[in-house]
Amino acid sequence: MTVSFKVQIRRHSFFTSCDCLILGVFDQPELTGIAADIDAMLGGKLTRLKASGDIDVNAGKTLWLHEVDGIDVARVLVVSLGKADEFNARRYKEVLRSTWRAVSCSRAVKVDCRLPLLSVRNLDLSERIRLAVVELRYESYRFVQMKSKLDLEQCVLESVVFDVDADDSGNAQTAVQHGLALANGMDFARDLGNLPGNVCTPSYLAQAATQLAKDWTMKAEVLGHEEIEALKMGSFLSVARASTEAPQLIVLQYEGGKTGAAPVVLIGKGITFDSGGISLKPGAGMDEMKYDMCGAAAVLGTLRAIAEIRLPLNVVAIVPACENMPGGNANKPGDIVTSMKGLTIEVLNTDAEGRLILCDALTYAERFKPAAVIDVATLTGACVIALGDHHSGLYAKDEALAAELLQASSQSSDAAWRLPLDDEYQEQLKSNFADVANIGGRKAGSVTAACFLSRFAEEYPWAHLDIAGTAWTEGASKGATGRPVPLLTRFLENRAGMHCV
């Protein structure tokens, strides 16, 4: 959930009825823009603070000024921006997050933020406002649903205003609306991801998806064990069979485009808890395996966002949901299962289960005759080793689709990095006993996982996003991130020819 506050656009006015004015200062000799104007009103105070070193030159550092003479505002929050020629989208995002963290810890009630008026390389005003809204909501998010007593850190923020010129007010208002829709989708995904595995079961995930469809006028279908078995999804069911929780195949259809137009299909891995099965994971950190359904959460969160935006595009979400548990009837290393496609799979490691449920979902997607298919999964620890927690791994053989996703990644500041998908890696998946093995050894583990999936995605343009490193954070800030909802939403907006720029 988030702290409740309003986000507004106001036609540019120098004087404002707020108790907190936010302005940015570059690391350069002379102040510019609103900072220079405020400095003049304060008799050169900002210039003196820069000279004394009280305004840190490092981007993201903040300094509060209280009850300063010369301006009728209770607080001024001065935010350091770093060097002007290095102020790109990534730096702007960092500055926004540190700004909102400072505001959330203050007693500010009404905030006037001038940061979107800054020039940011490759971001126009609408994109700067949209990102400011998303980051404000990101920093204000708190997961308190499972606590007996609410603790929102006594945040008193009521409203945030972005001042713009009169000619820009229409586009700016649209940017706010789109930013709020995206933030709502991210919150939806984060809430699902943060729920514990004993609450967010496959059935719970199906209920949440069904309610989402009801709230936003989508079609929903949930297939149970017998229906999944009738589809001959032997690979999917092999993962689910040791759990007492029944598997669910969740299908949502958002029909915002022309009737009959080929949809984009999003597939999300929905392992609501991953013990590793017989190939049991180490106990330390296993609690984080509740996040193994963050691909599913991101796909559903994306549909939540585009429905609120009213995107003129047809989109289908497919979520294979189950648990991966040990048991007497669990997959064993060496078992051979048969996929919906008819390919047999030798299960060499039961902890490589995500690809076993996704491969059947990829085959199921063929019935929609899709324009493109993107699967999203917390698939491999190898991707975390390769890219850390900064970039999601992107795999695609379709050059046009890969380019679209990388463009959306850049536009949304939701970083992805393309990794190879060369045929040479397929050699590692050879099996003496089945058509394909479910792992390819230690080398290039994320690549061979994508290669495995590619065998089931030959009938349409396809891409795979490995979000194992980006779907959640660890340590004191542990929690779901809602990624890659921004990337997917912008990709779909671009496809529809509708976005806030």
Catalytic residue among 281, 397, 418, 455: 281
Query: In the chain, where are the structural domains located?
Result: 7-165, 185-495
The predicted structure's pLDDT at residue 11: 64
Confidence of residue 374 (pLDDT cuts 50, 70, 90): very high
In terms of C-beta distances under 8 Å and separation of at least 24 residues, what long-range contacts does 165-174 make, across chains too?
165/11, 165/12, 166/11, 166/12, 168/125, 169/9, 169/11, 171/125, 171/126, 171/500, 172/9, 172/125, 172/126, 172/129, 173/9, 174/126, 174/500
The predicted structure's pLDDT at residue 500: 45
Does the domain made of 7-165 have the CATH classification 3.40.220.10?
yes
The predicted structure's pLDDT at residue 13: 60
Region 62-71: what's the mean pLDDT?
Answer: 90
C-alpha torsion sign, points 191, 197, 199, 200: positive
Structure token pair of residue 291: 């996040």
| Tens digits of residue pLDDT in 329-344 | 999 999 999 999 999 9
Q: Are 300 and 252 in contact (CB under 8 A)?
A: yes
CATH number for domain 185-495, candidates 2.40.160.40, 3.40.640.10, 3.40.630.10, 1.10.10.10: 3.40.630.10
CA distances from 95 to 26, 77, 99, 156 (A): 12, 12, 6, 21
Check pLDDT > 50 for residue 468. Answer: yes
Check pLDDT > 50 for residue 164. Answer: yes
Other CB atoms within a 10 A radius of the CB of residue 432 amount to 6
| Tens digits of residue pLDDT in 211-221 | 999 999 999 99
Residue 320: cis peptide before it, omega within 30 degrees of 0: no
The predicted structure's pLDDT at residue 171: 93
Q: What is the mean pLDDT of the chain?
A: 94
The predicted structure's pLDDT at residue 152: 56
Check pLDDT > 80 for residue 17. Answer: no
Between 464 and 142, whose confidence is greater? 464
| Tens digits of residue pLDDT in 300-355 | 999 999 999 999 999 999 999 999 999 999 999 999 999 999 999 999 999 999 99
- What are the two backbone dihedrals, phi and then psi, of residue 203, each rounded to the nearest 5 degrees? -65, -40
Question: Is 281 in the active site?
Answer: yes
Catalytic residue among 93, 128, 341, 355: 355
The predicted structure's pLDDT at residue 3: 55
The predicted structure's pLDDT at residue 501: 43
Confidence (pTM)? 0.95
Between 104 and 434, whose confidence is greater? 434
